[in-house]
Amino acid sequence: MKTFMVTVDGKNYEVTLKEVAEGAVSSPAASGPISRAPEAPKPVAPAPAPAAPAAPAAPAHAPTGNGQVETAPIQGKILRVEAQAGDHVEAGDVVMILEAMKMENEIMAPKAGTIGQIFVSDGETVDAGADLYSLE
């Protein structure tokens, strides 16, 4: 016989166990009432599988002609739109100011061209990758 101290919910209990030969089965000998361990929770039916994703939609803003759509590099708020549709810009010209993390970020034209459309307005919050304007 071996005696062990066991703590359950902050209470100490002295437990005596009888050693048995390997493979032998013995009935429990206890000096007090025997309580059952709480039952394991019953498995919950699995959630239904999600529906297949819809086919990707066409881009919200397709450039006209041979232009390209410029997107927001980071999430933020459009403070000011400096250019308007139809304006000619040179590479490096500021098209709009995007505030992110209390910093003003200049969104500049990557190349010379004409602003086709402006897709955002002052005060609008945009996510990273959101369409800002088209450049033709």
Q: What is the CATH number of the domain that holds 106?
A: 2.40.50.100
| pLDDT value of residue 58 | 47
B/e letters for 40-58, b = 16+ CB within 10 Å, e = fewer, are eeeeeeeeeeeeeeeeeee
User: Does any domain span residue 1?
Assistant: no
User: Does any domain span residue 129?
Assistant: yes
Q: How far is CA 40 from the centre of its chain?
A: 32
User: Does any domain span residue 103?
Assistant: yes
Averaged pLDDT in 10-residue chunks for the chain of 136 residues: 82 82 59 61 68 54 68 94 93 93 92 93 94 93
User: Does any domain span residue 26?
Assistant: no
User: Does any domain span residue 79?
Assistant: yes
Q: Which residues does 40 contact at the CB level (< 8 Å), separation at least 6?
A: none
Per-residue model confidence as pLDDT tens digits over 18-53: 777 766 655 555 555 656 666 666 666 676 666 666
CB neighbourhood size of 32 (10 A): 6
User: Does any domain span residue 41?
Assistant: no
Across 9-57, the runs of DSSP E, i.e. the strands, are: 11-17
- Structural domain of residue 77, as residue ranges? 68-135
| pLDDT value of residue 26 | 55
| pLDDT value of residue 90 | 94
| pLDDT value of residue 73 | 93
pTM: 0.53
Domain count, the chain: 1
User: Does any domain span residue 77?
Assistant: yes
User: Does any domain span residue 73?
Assistant: yes
Are the CB atoms for 114 and 134 separated by under 8 Å?
no
